[in-house]
Structure 1
Amino acid sequence: MHIIPAIDIIDGKCVRLTQGDYAQKTEYASDPLVVAQKFEEAGIKRLHVVDLDGAKASKIVNEPTLNRIASNTNLHVDFGGGVKSDEAIDMAFSAGAAQITAGSIAVKDKALVLSWLKKYGTDKIILGADVHHNEVRINGWQEGSGMNIFDFLEDYVSAGIEYVICTDVSKDGLLQGPSFDLYDDILKRYPKLKLIASGGVAELDDLKKLEQAGMFGTIVGKAYYEGRISLDELASF
């Protein structure tokens, strides 16, 4: 299982939100590149970068930070937040993203995201599924979509999607454990999916359970930044 640390960016700084609430923001480091380099030095290969300003503005805002991380590390960076147009996805890949995560746009403009799958390949696009009580949430989790997670996945799996990041909004940032039941349900229906768990990881045991559950990867944020899981423990995976 891949351990994928998260760097969430507001105003070029590394932050974490609780349950996607911009009012519940904790700043952890002023320079995301320094954080990224620490992960790389520990032997971690992948990084999840989210432009939170971009998610709010519906366009990429922190492209210079993405470029600095991609240019100064060999990390496999997946990037999300504000990728909602052909121009934006080209900008993200040009700045060094190895993959992009299509979140709200995958709900709002399915035709556009399907065109990206054809243009860039299914290995380049990650479907971002943010879920609250089985409903897909959009726009930085601020709004409900009225769409059930399994209906949402069905459309994209049939179109060839390989990678899915599934975040349970109700768990995110609370350090109360991941949504094991939700992930089990998804993998029972789609056993070939490269499913990436996100939200709720609180301790090393959570990572072991997610690995046993068959996750392709797990995104780790607050548990690392709050010292619940050490860098050495993350690297051991």
Structure 2
Amino acid sequence: MIEVIPAIDLIDGKCVRLSQGDYDRCTDYNLSPEDMAKRFADHGLTRIHVVDLDGAKASSPRNLHTLEQIARINGVTAEWGGGIKTGQALKDVFNAGATYAIIGSIAAREPQLMTEWLQTYGGEKLILGADVRNGKVAVSGWLEETADTIDDLLARFIPSGLSQAICTDISKDGMLEGPAFGMYTRLQEAFPDVVFTVSGGISSIRDIERLDALGLRRVITGKAIYEGHLTLKELQRYAR
């Protein structure tokens, strides 16, 4: 059964969502991240995807205090992304309570450093974050495109132990129009030893049911929860 991972995106310590990665199209839900994490955990959704959008823009983590508060919630494990550009930032994220760290920009720009981190921390702790726009990986909070495709990054890091990847189709993210089903099934078939997390576009429980039927193993959902298209009660059946 697919694992559902609810999302908390942070700006100034608040829960927000962007549309297609655009900081100018930001919705502030005026909700406490800690309260949301508790609600998720109460419904059995204990692995939580937390993105520091301030950190992604600033190239260093900016909401670690919020991470500390989330990580203290009983049963919660946090996967954290945003601003991890140095070894010290990576240590800070783990010290603040993250169970997993999502590495995006560094993987694309400094592959040797990503390889070193994989060798130090292992593929069970580090997750490749590959955000795709027009077939190319975007970095720095989705503000810049690179020459790499998701396939390029996977082929580069699997020999060093990479086993988890979150792939976001930016054109789908926050649009509530359904995920890029074809992209994820292709990736899962091409790289069967990698656990892919579907990210972007979830609009209803039907999308999750279809992904489950296709054999995908993890899915992130955020905006659909915050705007009432998905209820936590519906998602309870996927609790781990």
What is the TM-score when the length of structure 1 is the normalising length? Answer: 0.98
Q: Following the alignment from structure 1 to structure 2, what is the Cα–Cα distance between the partners of residues 170 and 220? A: 15
3-state SS of paired residue (1:56) = helix
Q: Does 1:149 align with 2:150?
A: yes
Q: What's the CA shift for 1:133?
A: 2.3
Q: Which 10-residue stretch deviates more, 146-155 or 159-168?
A: 146-155
Q: Following the alignment from structure 1 to structure 2, what is the Cα–Cα distance between the partners of residues 149 and 38? A: 33
Q: Does 1:35 align with 2:63?
A: no
Q: Which residue of 2 aligns with 1:84?
A: 85
Q: Superposition pairs for residues 1-237 of structure 1, below 5 Å? A: 1-237=2-238
Instruction: Please report the RMSD computed on the Cα atoms of aligned residues, expressed in angstroms.
Output: 0.9
Check conservation: 1:15, 1:27, Cα contact below 8 A: yes
Deviations 1:174-227 (A, max 9, x none): 001000111111011111211000000001110011112222210001111110
Q: Match for 1:92: what amino acid?
A: V
Q: Which 10-residue stretch deviates more, 64-73 or 33-42?
A: 64-73
Q: Match for 1:60: what amino acid?
A: P
**Structure 2: which 5+ runs fail to align?**
none
Check conservation: 2:122, 2:161, Cα contact below 8 A: no
**Structure 1: which 5+ runs fail to align?**
none
Check conservation: 1:49, 1:78, Cα contact below 8 A: yes
Q: Following the alignment from structure 2 to structure 1, what is the Cα–Cα distance between the partners of residues 73 and 178? A: 33
3-state SS of paired residue (1:141) = coil
Q: Following the alignment from structure 2 to structure 1, what is the Cα–Cα distance between the partners of residues 149 and 122? A: 26
Q: What's the CA shift for 1:30?
A: 3.5
Check conservation: 2:40, 2:232, Cα contact below 8 A: yes
Check conservation: 1:12, 1:30, Cα contact below 8 A: no
Q: How many residues in Structure 1 have an aligned counterpart in Structure 2? A: 237
Q: Following the alignment from structure 2 to structure 1, what is the Cα–Cα distance between the partners of residues 37 and 74? A: 8
Check conservation: 2:176, 2:224, Cα contact below 8 A: yes
Q: Percent identical across equivalent pairs?
A: 43
3-state SS of paired residue (1:72) = coil
Q: Following the alignment from structure 1 to structure 2, what is the Cα–Cα distance between the partners of residues 8 and 15? A: 5
Q: What's the CA shift for 1:43?
A: 1.1
Q: Which runs of 4+ in 1 moved over 2 A?
A: none
3-state SS of paired residue (1:39) = helix
Check conservation: 2:130, 2:168, Cα contact below 8 A: yes
Check conservation: 1:187, 1:193, Cα contact below 8 A: yes
Q: Following the alignment from structure 1 to structure 2, what is the Cα–Cα distance between the partners of residues 107 and 59? A: 16
Q: What's the CA shift for 1:153?
A: 1.5
